[in-house]
Structure 1
Amino acid sequence: MKALQNLRVGTKIIALVMLMAIFLSVVGYTGYYNNLKSNDIINTLYTDKLRSISLLKEARAANRNIQGISYRLLTAPLTQTEYLELKNEMDALITQFNEIWTNYKQTNPDTYEQDMFPTFDSELEQYRTEREEALAIASAGNEEEGFRYFTREVTPHMEKLNSILLEISDYNDRTSKEMMDQANEDFKSSTRVIIIVLAAAVVLAIAVGTFIGRLISVPLNKVVTNVNEIARGNLTVEAVKLDTKDEIGILAQAVNQMAVNLKDLIKHVSVSAEQVASSSEELSASSEQQALATSQVATAIADVAAGTEKQSMAIDDTSMAIEQISAAIQQVAATSSEVAEQASNTSLAAQDGQKVIDQAIKQMNRIGHATDVTQGAVDKLAQGSRMIGEITDVISDIASQTNLLALNAAIEAARAGEQGRGFAVVAEEVRKLAEQSSKAANQIAELINENHLNINNAVTAMQTGNQDVKHGIEMVSSVGATFEQIAGSINQSVNSIQEVSASVEEMAGGSQQIVNAINQIDTISKQNLSQSQTVSAATEEQSASVEQISSSSQALAKMAQDLQLAVSKFSV
């Protein structure tokens, strides 16, 4: 029973078909065998019996005709011609009888008939000899003596021959009847066998077919019931317990494993959906924080740009003042060469020079103050650049986490199959936005690094300019002191005036250096302003990307809710 259940379904059906084929073969062979026997009997009846009976009847008829002609030859008054005609006719009948008898012997006679052949041949030989003797006596003119001889000697042999022919004919008739009876009995027997075999085949086929059908249908119905329950979302169905090794048993194991895998998948998808929903909320919150931070960065950059613009304007003013001072100093240098000739005007020129020096000192102080303010702004700009770098690092980290979450979401969407296709599209968009944010953050970092380098250069230049301004103040102060000495000792020698002229020339050179430094500061300030504007534009782009990430995270949360709703239809 167990071995039969473990057979393949195709093997079971083939076994049923083979069983039916065996019964059909038995029925066919029985019919064929009996038909073959019936055909043999019919052939035997025709070739051996019916033909034998027909030949025996012809032989008896020919023998009677010979006997009649013999009587006419013995008793009737005949002319010579009539006698010869009858004699020829009798010879023809004798030849015909011989042919008939020869043909009869070739009909496959049985032993009983063959045992009678010697007696018949002996009687036939004696009959013909005695008959010729009687005819010879009659033809010699003794008709009565020939007739009596014929009656006494020939007739017993003739009757014996007819008796043998009749007995053989009756024997063949009885044998034919026995063969027909046997054929009828065989027909009835074969009919009974065929009916019994057919009935047994039908009963056994119904029984075996029903049994095999139940072996197939009962477990298959169990599998179909579980599959229908699983199709309706009920994954809590009890596993089909079939330990058979046929296709249905394999199918039941596959359905059971499918239910287990679906249950695990639904649980995993449910957990993943919750994680995605939570992650999308965290991503949305992070994107909002990032948007706020980006806004703060944009505000700080705008402030830096405004401060840089003001610094540039102040430096322009300082540059103009320094150029004026330089021109004045050069004028003083030119005038100092004529001091010896214009001694009378030295006092007035010294007073004017003292005023100019005082203004120069005040202007240099303003330049020093502006330089300090500029350096403070540059320091703030450097600090803002560092803050932007830190915020950019945060943005890069958030973009990396967003990319990782998008990849995880795409994997979970792929596991979800058809239901997660839309979710996979959203995850891919989130991943692309994360990559764009990461690229933007990298660009901002590069700009910040470049800006930081420029700011460092500006700081260095500002420090150098500050030192030059201090040196200029010292020089202007020295010039003021000199002019005070000139005013106090206007009558000093020409050597003192030459020393003053040399000092004025040195101050002119220093003032030119101050002009060059201020021009460098102005150039750096303008570059810093341009970089600040670039950072501001990048920050605006990053803000737009953050808004897209926030929108995508909200859509991701909606997809996660839809996925949770779809998963809730399954009972695990």
Structure 2
Amino acid sequence: MFFKFKATERAQDQEDLLGILGVLEKTQAVIEFSPDATILRANDNFLTSAGYTEAEVLGKNHAMLLAPDYAQSAEYKTLWAALCDGEHFTDQYPMRSKSGEELWIQATFAPVMGADGQLRKIVKIGTNITHRRKAIQDISRGLIALRNGALDHRIPVSDIEDLGAVARDFNEAVTQLETVISTVKSVSGTVENTAEEISHSSTELSTRTETQAATLEETAAAIEELTSTVKSAAQGAQDVEQIVTGAKATAEDSSTVVQEAIDAMDQIKASSEKISTILTVIDDISFQTSLLALNAGVEAARAGEAGRGFAVVASEVRALAKRSTEAASEIKQLINESSTHVVHGVDLVGRAGGELKTIIESVSTISGHVSDIARGTQEQSATLSEINTGMGQLDEVTQSNAAMVEQATAASQTMANNAKSLSQQVALFRTSCTSGVNTRAPIEQASASGRLATTTPARAAVANGWDDF
């Protein structure tokens, strides 16, 4: 009874094992090799995937299913030597279909040992992951394109659910990034142009400010010299004002002297007129004396010898009277001439007084003008002093502004350089607006070497289904 139960259990296990083998045959690509890599058997899944018939592969070497470079590589030789030593491997392996297309198999190579422990054959059980591999390569190309700045590159969306979701998310992220980078490129271009304009304007402003500072410094020196000159002119105007004031006072004193001279001339004229009156009296007295002397001579002649001495005296008196008359006449003539000269002198002195009065008025006018000039010059001197002070302060401010402009120029130049650097960095990204640049070549070159650098770990899970689990 016990043996019957064991026999039944073994039969059940064999039935289960056959069922499992049936599932593998139905869902997996199975190919068997001799230890020297000769193909012993290939199931329909494998033949369909590779595009061969069973007759075309049986008795052929496994290398016919591989790319020549991989079949001759040290990696492949090491793999087969390890299989012959009893090791097994699970990995992604490249193949070539009959038409020469590249196939990728997620497979397990495993040696099959006999009861005597000797290697009987090697079995390869795997799943076609070419479609999945292609989708992963598309994602890899997209990442390489992103690394190279090609934001116009989009990944084809695979019908494999998980990889399709990755492709969609990648495309949406790149689209968003493209929008941001496009905006940044536009802004950076504007910033670069603006920064260059600011830098150029700052340079020109710096040059103009330096020129202005130099001109202002020269102007300040000129104004300072002008201030000194105006101060000297103001002092000279004050001195002239004092001199003119003194001249005005002297002219006024001279006017008084002239008036006194006129008054003295008038008095002399009056005295001359009085002397003329006195001379008239003397002339009358001389005439009367002469008449008396004449009468005395007549009487003396009548008296004869007795009146001779008296006649002599009368003759002498008459002679004196005549001489007095002549002298009085001469004096009168001289006084008349003197009166004429006095009148002329009075006229001249009067005219001199009038001219002196005019001179006094002119000097007064000149004195007023000189006073105004002196006051104006003093005001100008004070104003120029204030201007000179203001120019000094303005010069200091201008020098400070010049230093600030130099700093601003340096800062704007730095900003222009940074903006240019930003534009250069952003220009590395290719957007749909700049898709004329060919960045596909390096992307294809980077992925054209065959197997991807990242492979699935050994003993990766085998999914249900033959194609692209």
Is the TM value for this pair above 0.5? no
Greater share of strand residues, 1 or 2? 2
TM-score (norm 1): 0.34
Greater RCO structure (CA 8 Å; 6+ sep): 2
Greater share of helix residues, 1 or 2? 1
